[in-house]
Amino acid sequence: MAPIIEIKNLTKSYRRGNQSIIVLENLSLDIKENDFLALMGPSGSGKSTLLNLIAGLDKADSGSIIVQGIDISLLIETELAKWRADNVGFIFQFYNLIPVLTAFENVELPLILTKLSKKERKEHVFTALKLVGLEDRMDHYPGQLSGGQQQRVAIARAVVTDPAILVADEPTGDLDRVSAQEVLKLMENLCSTIGKTIVMVTHDPRAAKKAGNIMYLDKGVLADDPQTSFQECV
């Protein structure tokens, strides 16, 4: 079976002043469908950068990212926005809910861009909120929810459009241990029961253990095993 995400010879650098810093160099990686992949590595190693490229939030300098047969590095900005809306769900470290919208409205947000009727949207939102166990909190504003609950609302928002891929950047980085466990369990379920492909960046070895697969990124180089220096930290 062909991998759902194929990354070939990816290079990404940032300009700072007049010098450019290479963050990812000639990186290749295949991610299988229905995989739960954890990306680990020291701070500044380029994990977020790689995740953003996979999710179509940023453009690489060279190389290709083929997702379900589409090379997203060739898409222009508006095509990419449409592609993201259709194919990727996002979970952030700081939840990034819109504070003036209720839990229900936050989850409904991505559906505004679809052709669904108001009634259909409502059904989808209910389903997604039920999935994360927060249907009784749908009228609450983010400020009235705990961190763990906010992250679950964010997960509902990420899955409500039924995307094939979920990307999560340190989803438990801002949570206490119990909430973190809940969130990870939820993500594990999404992978095992509804067949999502998940790419998660994390610092937390406990979180990584929940994942089916772990990759280590250090100074722009990928490895199946942690580099000796990093292993010491872990």
Partner 1 sequence: MILKLLFRNAFRHRLRTVLTICGICVAILAFGLLRTVISAWYAGVNASSATRLVTRNSISLIFPLPISYKEKIRNVDGVKLVSAGSWFGGFYINEKNFFANFAVESKSYLDLYPEFVIPSDQKSSYLKERKGCVVGVKLAKRFGWKLGDTVVLKGTIYPGNWEFVIKAIYKGRDKNVDESQFFFHWEYLNETVKKLWARRADQVGFYMIGVTSPDIAAVAARNIDKMFNNSFAETLTETEKAFQMGFVSLSQTILTVIELVTMIVIVIIMVVVANTMAMSVRERMNEYAVFKTLGFGGLFLAFLILGESLLITSLGCIMGIILTFPAADAFMGAVGDYFPIFNISTQTIYLDIIASFIVGVVAAIFPVRQAITVPIASGLGRIG
Ligand X SMILES: Nc1ncnc2c1ncn2[C@@H]1O[C@H](COP(=O)(O)OP(=O)(O)O)[C@@H](O)[C@H]1O
Contact set for ligand X, span 173-202 (CB under 6 A): none
H-helix or E-strand containing 159?
A: helix 147-159
Nearest residue to 104 via CA among 62, 148, 134:
134
Among residues 110 and 171, whose Cβ is nearest to ligand X?
Answer: 171
Please name which of 92, 23, 89 lies closest in space to residue 59, comparing C-alpha atoms. 23
Smallest Cα–Cα separation from 201: which of 52, 61, 68, 30?
Answer: 52
Can you spell out the DSSP letters for 54-113? HTTSS--SEEEEEETTEEGGG--HHHHHHHHHHHEEEE-TT----TTS-HHHHHHGGGGG
Q: Residue 48 or 106: which CB sits closer to Mg ion?
A: 48
Within residues 47-66, the interface with Mg ion by CB under 5 A covers: 48
Q: What angle do CA 167, 170, 171 make, to 5 degrees?
A: 75
Q: What residues contact residue 234 under an 8 Å CB cut-off, 6+ apart? A: 40, 205, 226
The minimum distance between CB 93 and ligand X, in angstroms, equals: 10
DSSP 3-state assignment of 175? Answer: coil
Site for partner 1 contains 47 (CB under 8 A)? yes
Q: How far is the CB of 142 from partner 1 (least distance, A)?
A: 11
Binding residues with ligand X: total (CB under 6 A): 11
* 233 part of the interface to partner 1, by CB under 8 A: no
Which of Mg ion, ligand X, partner 1, none has residue 23 at its interface (CB below 5 to 8 Å by kind)?
Answer: ligand X
Task: List the interface residues with ligand X, window 37-76 (CB under 6 A).
Answer: 41, 43-49
Reduced to 3 states, what is the DSSP secondary structure of residue 185? helix
At its nearest, how many Å lie between ligand X and the CB of residue 201?
6
What residues line the site for partner 1 (CB under 8 A)?
43, 47-48, 52, 55, 57-58, 78, 81-82, 84-86, 90, 92-94, 96, 98-101, 105, 108-110, 112-113, 169-170, 173, 201, 203
What residues line the site for Mg ion (CB under 5 A)?
48
What residues line the site for ligand X (CB under 6 A)?
14, 16, 23, 41, 43-49
